[in-house]
Structure 1
Amino acid sequence: MGLDSAGKSTLLARLLTGQVMETSPTIGFNVGTLDLDKKTSLTVWDVGGQKSMRANWRYYLDDCKALVFVVDSSDPSRLPEAQKVLKKVLNDEKLREVPLMVLANKKDLPNSMTIREISKQLDLHSCVDRLWEVQACSALKGLGLQQAFMSVNKLIKKS
């Protein structure tokens, strides 16, 4: 999940195909299975992030094992909005003990924010009852994606 234009669809396509694909705003969702190793795979849902879609996010939380929240690290002006919607989704009862991975996408762009700045802007340190992690990545370049989802798997195992 994440705001519109954070790079969720590009990230999922890159993870699943290794390619950069032309994407358009997601209406509804995309879903795919990511094989981490011979024994482990994750079903990854990419849910539309436009304001009009966010009310539907709660319908995708059943049996959720980890929440991956994607932010555009090159756009600090949208982080207050991202913080607000992240807090709202984390307050859902279905996510009570579900770990959180924040992916600071677009780290390849000049002036992208550090993971420390993003953690602070999203107020992640207030998430005391939840395992969470922040990782920088670039869906476009494919940087950090495999590592991030290996970490997601570790968070799931720990929780």
Structure 2
Amino acid sequence: MGLLDYLRKLRGQKKGELRILFLGLDNAGKTTILKSIADEDITRITPTQGFNIKSVVSGGFKLNVWDIGGQRKIRPYWRNYYDNTDVLVYVVDSSDKKRFEETGVEFSELLDEEKLEKVPVLVFANKQDLLSSAPASEVAEGLGLPSLRNRVWQIQPCSAVTGEGIKDGMDWVLKNVSKK
């Protein structure tokens, strides 16, 4: 543990604040979901070339959300953001069945990370407004969620474009993290 890690640990998290990490492959809808949560315009979203940070107040908590780009070349840097994560939100493009294996591999690697070991996981099965989307149950099976025994998790079907399901997912986050 380096000096910076030690200072972060000493500082701790302020009461009523949560650090939420949004991860997933590129084009899954992470930024659109984040902007929807923040009640921002979602008509002009560009691929995240690094990360976005937003603080949103919801349910009496200040949510500090880190939205990290999902392009292949950026994924090795995800591990730099794991410290002090209270909730991992993994976003899947439910309509991009060609990339289900790739997203499953990335998700599995996240679950194996020591710094994320006890972190609750919300999976947004995004783009449910598209006819080609797999149902959330199929996404859950593909990610191996039913076999997770040592972690609190939830899968939430949603559409970042219509907003459907996003509030339900965030309500789950607040309910499960407030139990900590």
Same fold (TM > 0.5): yes
Please state if 1:110 is matched with 2:100: no
- Residue in structure 1 matched with residue 54 of structure 2 by the alignment: 32
Please report the TM-score for the alignment, with normalisation by the length of structure 1.
0.94
CA distance in 1, matches of 2:150, 2:101: 22
State the shift of 1:17 in Å. 2.3
- Residue in structure 2 matched with residue 10 of structure 1 by the alignment: 32
CA distance in 2, matches of 1:21, 1:88: 32
Please state if 1:20 is matched with 2:42: yes
The CA RMSD over aligned residues, in Å, is: 1.2
- Residue in structure 2 matched with residue 90 of structure 1 by the alignment: 111
In structure 1, stretches of 5+ residues that fail to align are none
State the shift of 1:18 in Å. 4.2
Matched-pair contact (CA < 8 Å) for 1:104–1:118: yes
Q: Give the 5 Å matches for 1:51-90.
A: 51-90=72-111
Matched-pair contact (CA < 8 Å) for 1:28–1:48: yes
Matched-pair contact (CA < 8 Å) for 1:13–1:21: no
Larger radius of gyration: 2
The runs of at least 4 aligned residues of structure 1 exceeding 4 Å deviation read none
Q: What is the DSSP-based 3-state SS (H/G/I as helix, E as strand, rest coil) of the residue aligned with 2:95? A: coil
Alignment length (residue pairs): 158
Deviation digits for residues 32-58 of structure 1, max 9, x if unmatched?
Answer: 112213x22211111000000000001
- Residue in structure 1 matched with residue 162 of structure 2 by the alignment: 141
Please report the TM-score for the alignment, with normalisation by the length of structure 2.
0.84
Q: What is the DSSP-based 3-state SS (H/G/I as helix, E as strand, rest coil) of the residue aligned with 1:35? A: strand
- Percent identity reads 40
The one of the two structures with greater contact order (alpha-carbon pairs below 8 A, sep at least 6) is 1
> 1:92 is aligned with what amino acid?
E
